Each structure stands twice: as structure tokens, then as C-alpha cells.
Amino acid sequence: MDLTNRISGYHLVEQLYCGSRTLVYRAIREIDRLPVVIKLLNRDYPSFSELLQFRNQYTIAKNLRLPGVVEPYNLESYRHSYALVMEDFGGISLRDYAQEASLNLTEILAIALQITDILQGLYRHRVIHKDIKPANVLIHPDTKQIKLIDFSIASLLPRETQEIQNPNVLEGTLAYISPEQTGRMNRGIDYRTDFYSLGVTFYELLTGKLPFECDDPDGVGSLPYCQTTSFNKQQRNPAGGFGYCHEADGKKCRKTLSKCIRIEARFRKVFAAVPRNWKN
């Protein structure tokens, strides 16, 4: 994307991220010199559904007003698309942070507790994030404050229901999404889907590896827990080649889910048991 046409009212300082779908910049808002971060769609002519998702992250996060969620300031029209202007609290993604610094157990537990608290806040507001992973968690390198970003595919649950139906499209990041979020199980999605992804995130932070091998962790490669076949459009029928949908695997998935639900309590217990001199 050609950025020679500047985003009016902002001075771009540095590029933070350049992905296949999005570009993220650190910038200064000219009117008051406020440091901000600006996220743009990478394509000059985004599709209707891309624009819808882009709007969605603004609308959902704007109404949350939680200290653990990066505050979106405004959604501006930018060419044939949008520019999301948001808070810059000096954070970097946990993915980058974990790659640069080797994290000890105490640090990981402190991070884990902050994330679980943030998720609790989301659920009080009936929001499911649906894309929890280290790249969507920011950490301030000095204060270690954690904030959540990227509500593109997040859902706001209607008051009267506890769960939403599976979307017709595969959303989220394969290496981290829960079995029910793949749409391959006959069950709706509720807040536990985030706990599953959180479990994968903690596992990765603790071991440096993903719990399930995935040939394309950031994209739509093969389903990580599906050992027998890879994902393609012809195999959307669960009665087809999805080994993952077998009864035995379903039980395994439910077990994993219930383990994840207990994760916060466990982390709190473990953290309380860490000797005081380790925590400093």
C-alpha cells in the first residue's frame, strides 16, 4: 500500500507490523501530540466482510472500557477503507517479547494472571475474544503491564444466550482455536473457547512450543489436532475425512476444555505458592 498520501491529522513515526492483511504504525496525533497506534487494512480495495470485521474490532473494544484492553480512540475513513486509531501504551506483542527475552516461570505466571483477569472483565461484558494468542496480547517491556488487542472476530453475546453458533467460515488462528470454534463439532461457542486458546498460549510460553504441530500456525493450513487429514473445502462435511470428529477425539477435546476452565484457579494457587524471593 502506498502511504505517500499521509493519514490526515497524524504523523507516522514507525511501522510496527506488516502482515498479509494489516499494517500497523506508531504515530503522533498532530492536534495534541498524543502518541497513537494506527491499524490499516493492507489492500487498497478491501472486501465488504473485511470492512465489517475491521469495524467490529472498533465497536466491541470501544464499549468495553477496561484497563486491560487497548482503547480504540476512533475509526476514521481512509481512502476506500478505515484507519483504526488506538492507544499507544508502549506495548509490544507478547509473541515478540517472548522471542527476545527468555521468560522465567515467575514472569510467565504474572503474565498469565493478568490475562486471566482481563478475560474475566470481558466475560462480565459478555464478550468472547475468539483470537487469544501471544500476537494479540501486548506487554509493556518495563512495567510488564498486559493489554489485549485485535477484537476483529470477537462476539458480543446477546443477553438471553450463553453461546453463539459456529460461524460458516473458519475464523481465528488454527494453532490456537478450540475444537468447537473450527465448526467441526456440533456445539455452539461460549466463553470457554478463549480458555482453550489461553491454554495453548500458556503452553507455548512455558515450553516454547505449540501443543499441537501445525504446518501453518498463523494461517489456514491443516487443523492442528487433526492427525489424519488436512483442511480443504471438500472436507467440510464432518462425516468426511475429519478424524478429529471421531467420538474418541470429541471426548479428548471436552476433557481438554474442562482442564482449561480450571486454569485460572490453578495459576492463582501456583503463584501464591511461589516463594516471595522468586517474585522479585
Ligand X SMILES: Nc1ncnc2c1ncn2[C@@H]1O[C@H](COP(=O)(O)OP(=O)(O)OP(=O)(O)O)[C@@H](O)[C@H]1O
What residues are annotated to the active site?
Answer: 131
The DSSP call for residue 70 is: P
145 binds ligand X (CB under 6 A): no
Residue 88: name its binding partner from ligand X, Mg ion, none (Cβ under 5 to 8 Å by kind).
ligand X
The DSSP call for residue 165 is: P
136 binds Mg ion (CB under 5 A): yes
| 25-51: b (≥16 Cβ within 10 Å) or e | bebebeeeeeebbbbbbeeeebeeebe
Residue span binding Mg ion (CB under 5 A) among the ranges 92-100, 102-110, 136-144, 164-172: 136-144
Residue labelled with grid coordinates 480512540: 73
Nearer to Mg ion, 129 or 184 (CB): 129
Q: According to CB under 6 A, which one of 72, 91, 179, 224 is a site residue for ligand X?
A: 91
Residue span binding Mg ion (CB under 5 A) among the ranges 42-50, 69-77, 106-114, 131-139: 131-139
Residue span binding ligand X (CB under 6 A) among the ranges 20-28, 73-81, 108-116, 158-166: 20-28
Interatomic CA distance for residues 202 and 216, integer angstroms = 19
CB–CB of 20/173 below 8 Å? Answer: no
Residue span binding ligand X (CB under 6 A) among the ranges 17-25, 112-120, 185-193, 226-234: 17-25
184 binds ligand X (CB under 6 A): no
Distances (CA, A) of 64 to 94, 123, 124, 184: 21, 10, 10, 30
Q: According to CB under 6 A, which one of 86, 139, 226, 253 is a site residue for ligand X?
A: 86
Nearer to ligand X, 150 or 190 (CB): 150
Q: According to CB under 6 A, which one of 98, 109, 122, 138 is a site residue for ligand X?
A: 138
- Three state DSSP letters for 187-239: CCECCHHHHHHHHHHHHHHHHCCCCCCCCCCCCCCCCCCCCCCCCCHHHCCCC
Q: How far is the CB of 138 from Mg ion (least distance, A)?
A: 10
CB–CB of 52/35 below 8 Å? Answer: no
CB–CB of 131/153 below 8 Å? Answer: yes
Nearer to ligand X, 114 or 264 (CB): 114
Interatomic CA distance for residues 120 and 68, integer angstroms = 10
152 binds ligand X (CB under 6 A): yes
Q: How far is the CB of 211 from ligand X (least distance, A)?
A: 21
Size of the site for Mg ion (CB under 5 A): 2
Nearer to ligand X, 39 or 184 (CB): 39
Which residue number is nearest to Mg ion in terms of Cβ?
A: 150
Nearer to ligand X, 88 or 249 (CB): 88
CB–CB of 89/70 below 8 Å? Answer: yes
Angle at CA 132, nearest 5°, toward 128 and 137? 115
Q: According to CB under 5 A, which one of 150, 171, 190, 249 is a site residue for Mg ion?
A: 150
- Strand, coil or helix: 98: helix
Q: Residue numbers of the site for Mg ion (CB under 5 A)?
A: 136, 150
